[in-house]
Structures are given as structure tokens and as C-alpha cells.
């Protein structure tokens, strides 16, 4: 539920229809999936549902980058279990993804996240993404 806070879902509720993953998802480099969602729904009145439209039309979205050179440091963001100790800002929430964070840790015990483990979007990611992008989802209302 994008923007969900205190029981409200201002951008609507989106239900997954189907997922698409690489055949070798057990490999950390392939630990990702793309999920198609139906058009969202909102409840303007008790017992009533209306369409909220496509997810990408209602929230910020990320682009994808493939086969990018590996850098010694990158910006990492996500949905941690609690507030991020580094205080990342919500002001800029768009960009290009070249992987998905699958794990973080505090290796030096200072209460801050240190290294992260991520999949890497390479040429083998492209057909999985194209297959997901070509799938029709539709409406549930």
C-alpha cells in the first residue's frame, strides 16, 4: 500500500496478480522478482470500492539500469524494519535501480548499516523484466 500510514492508504490498495523470477533465484545475483499488480482500489465510502488506476500513475517509480559498472560505493534505500540510522531523506525518491538489496548488516557495531548484499541487474535480468512488463493485469473492480 503506497503511502500507507496510520491505517490510511492514500494511493490505493494494489493486489498482486503474478510474479516473475529468474530460473536461478537461489543465486544471490538472481534474488529478485517482478510482480504485476491489478489497478488499485480506494474506498470512498464504507462498502464501496472504485478504481485508483495504475500503480505507476499514482506513485513515484524507479527506472532500471542493466550491466552498470560496479562502483566502490552506491546509494542504498529500501524499507527497513525501523528508521534508518543514517537519516535518508524522502525528498528525492526516484532514480535507476541496478539491483535489489537483499540483506544489510552492522559489521562494526556502531549502530549503522555497513555493507549490503544485492542482486545485480545484468543481461540475464532483461528477459525476465520484459516478460513481466508484457503481462496484462487489468482491474479487480
Q: Which domain holds residue 26?
A: 16-133
Counting beta carbons within 10 angstroms of the beta carbon of residue 60, is it exposed (0 to 12), middle (13 to 18) or buried (19 or more)?
exposed
State how many domains the chain has.
1
Q: What is the pLDDT of residue 17?
A: 93
The answer to whether residue 5 is domain-embedded is no
The answer to whether residue 9 is domain-embedded is no
The answer to whether residue 75 is domain-embedded is yes
The answer to whether residue 141 is domain-embedded is no
Mean of all residue pLDDT scores within the chain:
81
> Does residue 83 surpass a pLDDT of 60?
no
Distance CA 32, CA 35 (A): 10
The answer to whether residue 71 is domain-embedded is yes
Q: What is the pLDDT of residue 77?
A: 63
The answer to whether residue 139 is domain-embedded is no
The answer to whether residue 2 is domain-embedded is no
Amino acid at each position: 500500500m503506497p503511502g500507507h500510514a496510520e491505517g490510511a492508504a492514500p494511493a490505493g490498495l494494489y493486489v498482486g496478480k503474478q510474479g516473475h523470477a529468474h530460473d536461478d533465484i537461489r543465486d544471490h545475483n538472481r534474488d529478485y522478482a517482478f510482480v504485476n499488480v491489478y489497478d488499485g482500489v480506494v474506498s470512498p465510502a464504507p462498502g464501496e470500492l472504485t478504481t485508483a488506476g495504475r500503480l505507476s500513475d499514482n506513485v513515484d517509480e524507479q527506472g532500471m539500469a542493466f550491466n552498470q559498472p560496479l562502483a566502490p560505493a552506491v546509494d542504498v534505500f529500501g524499507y527497513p524494519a525501523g528508521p534508518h540510522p543514517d537519516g535518508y531523506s524522502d525528498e528525492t525518491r526516484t532514480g535507476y535501480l541496478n539491483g535489489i538489496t537483499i540483506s544489510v548488516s552492522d559489521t562494526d557495531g556502531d549502530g549503522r548499516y555497513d555493507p549490503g548484499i544485492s542482486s545485480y541487474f545484468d543481461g540475464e535480468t532483461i528477459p525476465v523484466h520484459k516478460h513481466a512488463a508484457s503481462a496484462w493485469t487489468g482491474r479487480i473492480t
